[in-house]
Every structure is written in C-alpha cells, then in structure tokens.
Amino acid sequence: MEQFSTFLASNPMLSAAWVGIFVAIIVTTIRIKMSPIKQLSPQELTFAMNREGGVVLDTRSEKEFKNSHILDAKHITAEKVKNNDFAALEKYKDKPIIVVCASGITASKVANQLLKVGFIKASLLKGGMNAWTGAGLPVAKK
C-alpha cells in the first residue's frame, strides 16, 4: 500500500488521468443504462424483427449497404438523416426501429433523432454490422 501512495505522489498527472478515465467509464455506463435507447445484441435484434415486427434502418453509405446488409433492412441516406427526413418510416412509427451503422457509434445519433420526432421504440444494434457479421448471421447483397 505504501508503494501505491508513493506512486500516486510521484506521478500526479498519470494518477489524475487514471481517475479521469475511471470517472468517464462510470458516467458512460450510467448514461447507457439510463438512456431510452436500448442497445440490442444481434440475437435481440433478430427477436425484435421476428416477434415484434421490428424494422432495421441501415445508415451506412449506399456502397456499403449494397455490398451487404441485414435481410429486409431499409436504407436511409446521411442527407435524409441530417434533414430529419423520416417520412418514409411513418408507417413503422408503432414498431421497433433498430438503427444499424458500421460499428454502432453513429447509430446512436440517428436513434436520438428518431426519438425526438416521435419514434418511441428506437434502438440500435450494439457493435453495428461488425457485430452482426461477427456473429455469423446472414446478410443480403444487392
């Protein structure tokens, strides 16, 4: 324990960085748990589609979407997302909408936008298409 105290005293910047990282991890974890947007695993996405009639909304580029996408996924362009143009999704407003991007990072922003315009069952695929393909699940190609 004395070595730990000595280390902290002789490395204040490094110690402060570790404390900052620790606090950031805790805050991020709490924000994810408190968020109205659920992060679904690939298996949970499959259940949402099959049992609840969920709709997959793919936000990747047109090229990536054509290369491979989740079966029956709807594609939305970045321009439509930027302009909050979700008119094509109005008929799915009462169904779960699962937003998918490449790695699960940008999907959060789109899911938040969907919540703001009234899609109360918006969620996202945790890990994005990388998680889907990593789980060995089927993809469609156009």
pLDDT score for 65: 94
Task: Return all residues near 128 (Cβ < 8 A) that are at least 6 apart.
Answer: 100, 101, 102, 103, 104, 105, 107
Which pLDDT belongs to residue 28? 83
- Residue 40: how many CB atoms within 10 A of its CB? 22
The pLDDT, as a whole number, for residue 59 is: 94
Q: Which domain CATH number covers 81?
A: 3.40.250.10
User: Considering its fold, how many domains does the chain have in total?
Assistant: 2
Decide if 121 is inside a domain.
yes
Domain with 93 in it: 37-134
Supply the DSSP string of 75-91, one letter for each residue. E--HHHHHTT--GGGGG
Give domain status of residue 113, yes or no: yes
Would 41 be classed as within a structural domain? Answer: yes
38-79 pLDDT, tens digit per residue, is: 899 999 999 999 999 999 999 999 999 999 999 999 999 888
The answer to whether 133 touches 64, Cβ cutoff 8 Å, is no
In a domain? residue 23: yes
pLDDT of residue 141: 83
Q: Is residue 25 part of a domain?
A: yes
81 & 22 share domain:
no
Residues 103 and 70 in one domain: yes
Residue 81's nearest CA partner among 48, 59, 103, 66 is 59
> Cα angle vertex 106, ends 116, 32, to 5°?
70
What is the model's pLDDT at position 18? 92
| Same domain for 63 and 13 | no
- What is the pLDDT, as a whole number, of residue 35? 78
- Give the residue ranges of the chain where pLDDT is below 70: none
Answer yes or no: do 28 and 43 share one domain: no
